[in-house]
Every structure is written in C-alpha cells, then in structure tokens.
C-alpha cells in the first residue's frame, strides 16, 4: 500500500454530477452493507443523492483529475463534533491509501472549524481494511456503538 501522507490528491466538494460514479463504486452486496448498511443490492440509482441533506457536507477525493473516493461529514452540534460517514473508494483504487488520505483530509477540513472538539466514526461492519484505514488516519477505538452493533472511533481536535 502507498503511504497516504504522500499520495497527491485533492478534496473537492461533491456535486450531483458525480452521483452515478460514486454509486458505481458500491459494486457488491458486501460494499453496500459496509458503506450504508444497505440490504437490497443493487442500490437504487439515486442512493448517493439520498445521502445529501442539511447538516451533511459531502466531498470527493480526486487524484490525477479523477474521483477516487467519497466521504461525508455529519454535524453533531450537541456533541461539538462531526462524524465521518459513507466512506467509499473506487473499487479499482482500493488498498492504495486513498481511503486513509480521504479520512485524514476530512478530519483536517473539519478540525479548522471553531467549536469542533472531536471527530467520530462508527464502524458497523467487520472490515479489517476499514478499521486499518481509520487507525492509520489517527482515530482510536473508544468502545462499541449503543444503537447499532459496531465499533466507535474518535479523534480529538487539538486547538
């Protein structure tokens, strides 16, 4: 795997024109379950559009002028936090460090916001690759999820 810190990639705000591209990365039933706990594979054509709503900031990671990964930041005002969610990487770019780079850049982007104390990740599946990605991006296991079976991860924002 490449060193995520050295990967050249840019974080770009998501636009609807990339909906089909991101949806195409949900290429298996397992990926659909991992990304959004989806159960009826294949996902609907508008699955990514359905994720766009108030309090959600969506991004694409571009490398060599092509989108390679997608992720979201969900605002958690009461907790003074944001949650990273719906992380998905182009199936032809997986295991190359793009997921870790995306998570690092999402963390950096939101850590600059005043009033943000921490960034959360809920891992609802048994994926060693996803766990490794999040650990490499500086997140720590903090326990188990209370509302859905899974792991809770967190990274504090240092101000």
For 10-57, the pLDDT digits (tens) are: 999 999 999 999 999 999 999 999 898 888 999 999 999 999 999 999
What's the pLDDT at 128? Answer: 87
Q: Which domains does the chain have, with CATH numbers?
A: 4-156 (3.40.630.30)
CA distance 133 to 117: 22
What is the three-state SS of 84-104? EEEEEECCCCCCCCHHHHHHH
What's the pLDDT at 144? Answer: 83
For 113-154, the pLDDT digits (tens) are: 999 999 999 987 778 899 999 999 999 999 887 667 788 999
Helix (H, G, I), strand (E, B) or coil at 35: helix
What's the pLDDT at 4? Answer: 57
């Amino acid at each position: 795997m490449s060193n995520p810190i050295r990967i050249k990639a840019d974080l770009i705000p998501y636009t609807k024109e990339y909906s089909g591209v991101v949806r195409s990365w949900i290429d298996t039933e397992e990926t659909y379950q991992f990304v959004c706990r989806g159960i009826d594979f294949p996902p609907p054509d508008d699955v990514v559009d359905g994720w766009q709503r108030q309090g959600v900031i969506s991004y694409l990671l571009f490398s060599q002028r092509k989108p390679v990964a997608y992720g979201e930041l969900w605002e958690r005002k009461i907790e003074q936090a944001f949650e990273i969610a719906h992380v998905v990487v182009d199936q032809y770019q997986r295991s190359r460090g793009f997921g870790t780079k995306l998570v690092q850049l999402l963390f950096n982007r939101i850590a600059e916001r005043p009033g943000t104390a921490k960034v959360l990740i809920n891992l609802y599946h048994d994926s060693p690759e996803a766990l490794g990605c999040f650990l490499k991006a500086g997140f720590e296991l903090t326990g188990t999820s209370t509302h859905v079976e899974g792991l809770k991860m967190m990274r504090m924002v240092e101000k």
